Amino acid sequence: MNLIEKIKEKRELSYVDDALVREYIEEYFKRNPGEKEKVEAGEKKAVKKILKSVRNSLRLVYGSFLSRDYLKMDEKLDELKKKIDTGNTEDALEMHKEILRLHASTRERLSFYKDFFEEIFALTGKPSSILDIGAGLNPVAYPFMGLSDVEYNAYELNSKDAAFIQKYFDIMKIDGKAEKMDITKDVPSVRADVCFALKLVDIVDNKTVERVVRGLDVKFIAASFPTKTVSLRRMNVVRRGGFQRMLARQGLSYEKIEFENELVYVIKK
């Protein structure tokens, strides 16, 4: 039995790298050392447990925010290139919106993207360099940022998503680089004026968050929390309190900006 193939049978996880799925399987066996032999022997109960555990972990950081059309995003990027090549600015902007609708986080910001970046940059100043960790589709919101001649470095857990972002940068002729990185293991060393860490704090552990915040070589961090779940229920605020205490331990000041479904901390480093 191929565990990776079984895990990826779920449509929302079919786009995830095999290498990433393998990492989660290995982590599961490290936490549950007695299970590996049972899974390899094909014991149904053990197989069911690992499939459920790894799928749930992947959904937490990846699958639960994707639309049904996410697998079509490469096609949509090709359509965007055609609009750009023909100089059809209005249609190109609409195609950006179509791509941003493929992920819940970017879809939720469509009604206020312009204000979102204006209010952040009012506190940070307009950046000439951006670092985006756990980027998702956020770089595709570039037309709403009101920037030009910016250096943009994006890091994403899934290499297919990093390749997608790089292709987008190339199409838009943005001075950008997108790479795969697991921030639970590494911290980007690139310098930047502003780092986006949008809706990232909620899905990684507290020690990782503190290590990343401490290690980033940036002037400002824009870190955000969802204030509503995907089903539009109000979120619990416990993680925000812990986040604020961590910032206090590091002696970092911040200002908060609240939007209809997202709270942004603009942190001065």
Domain boundary among 40, 65, 90: 65
Pairwise CA distance, residues 256 & 172, whole Å: 31
In a domain, 227, yes or no: yes
- Which of 145, 4, 134, 14 shows the shortest CA–CA distance to 73? 14
Q: Domain residues for 128?
A: 109-268
Contact 38, 46 (CB under 8 A): yes
| Secondary structure E strands in 160-204 | 175-180, 192-197
pLDDT tens-digit series, residues 155-169: 998 888 899 999 999
CA angle 262, 61, 140 (to 5 degrees): 60
Are 179 and 254 within one domain?
A: yes
The pTM is what? Answer: 0.80
The tens digit of pLDDT for each residue in 89-120 reads 899 999 999 999 887 778 889 999 999 999 99
Is 88 inside any structural domain? no
In a domain, 101, yes or no: no
* Distance of alpha carbon 70 from the chain centroid: 14
Mean pLDDT of 189-200: 96
pLDDT tens per residue, range 124-149: 999 999 999 999 899 999 999 999 88
What the block records as the tokens of 161 is: 């998503």
Q: Both 28 and 122 in a single domain? A: no
Average pLDDT, the chain: 88
Tell me if 200 is assigned to some domain.
yes
User: Residue 53 and residue 48: Cα distance in Å, rounded?
Assistant: 9
The residue that leads in pLDDT, 265 or 229, is 265
Considering only CA atoms, which of 48, 62, 57 is closest in space to residue 11?
Answer: 62
Tell me what pLDDT residue 69 has.
Answer: 59
The 10s digit of each residue's pLDDT in 16-54 is 777 778 888 988 999 998 898 888 888 999 999 999 999
pLDDT (0 to 100) of residue 67: 46
Residue 73 domain flag: no
Q: CA-CA distance, 216 to 194, in Å (whole number)?
A: 10
Q: What percent of the chain has pLDDT over 70?
A: 91
In this prediction, residue 31 carries a pLDDT of 92
SS3 state at 254: strand
**Domain CATH code at residue 185:** 3.40.50.150
Residues 44-90: pLDDT tens digits? 999 999 999 999 888 776 654 454 556 678 889 999 999 999 998 89
Q: Are residues 140 and 49 in the same domain?
A: no
Within-domain flag for 189: yes
- Asked if residue 119 and residue 44 are part of one domain, the reply reads no
**Rounded Cα distance, 84 and 66, in Å:** 25
At 85 the pLDDT is 93
Q: How confident is the model at residue 263 (pLDDT cuts 50, 70, 90)?
A: very high
Structural domain count, the chain: 2
231 pLDDT above the threshold of 80: no
pLDDT value of position 232: 43
Q: What whole-number distance in Å separates Cα of residue 81 and Cα of residue 87? A: 10
Phi, psi of 190 (to 5 degrees): -65, 140
